Amino acid sequence: MAALEVGTKDYVVTANPTNTRVSNHKAPWIVDMLWDDVPAALQKHRPSDFDTLKVYLPPKTMRDRIGEASQHRNTFVHQIQQPTNQRYAKAIEQLSVHYLRSLTNTIQDLLWIYDYFLGNDWTIPRLSWETNEELEAAAGVNTLPHLEGAKNRISVMVGTELSTGQMEVMERLSKSYQDHKRNHKPEDDVDVEI
């Protein structure tokens, strides 16, 4: 959470130095920055590209997840750890491998998106599938061709372009993944302790 708060504040102040509400405040609430300051900074920093780039603004589902995580973090830091403390018990109950992985992906992806807003186009193919799907659902458009993003990530990892046969395998994997996502229910996930 701290990385996201610092990264968001840094993006807002870099893109819109006149935003004194964020720059003069030691720790503005992250959800307020995501809701108000990030779109304002993007519009001020890249006004001619705003209509194209706004599809990458964090949708409500992301803001809600970040707000909930921020409240959990504050509960862990400021609440007394007692069996009778309902807020603390609820926060502990929410923790799972799936929840933490999803939250970590969201935070990482938001930081990638800020870099993209600052002109680093190479960051968009690094977005997680989950974030890309949320952005697509919120914007109603395809924000990143899944296969192209996967191809770019794998090409970078192996250091070469993919062959036609490798691309066919990627297409089959992509279709299989999309079928899985369509039929998957989060309640089927099993948390494994390592």
Domain residue limits, the chain:
2-126
Q: Once rounded to an integer, what is the mean pLDDT over residues 65-88? A: 77
Give mean pLDDT, residues 94-101.
76
Q: Looking at the whole model, is its pTM more than 0.75?
A: no
Which is it for the CA torsion 156, 160, 162, 166, positive or negative? negative
Higher pLDDT, 115 or 156: 115
Which has the closest alpha carbon to 54: 113, 120, 123?
113
Count of beta carbons in the 10 Å neighbourhood of residue 44 = 15
Q: How many other CB atoms are found less than 10 A from the CB of residue 174?
A: 17
- pLDDT per residue as tens digits for the range 124-156: 888 888 888 888 777 766 555 544 554 454 444
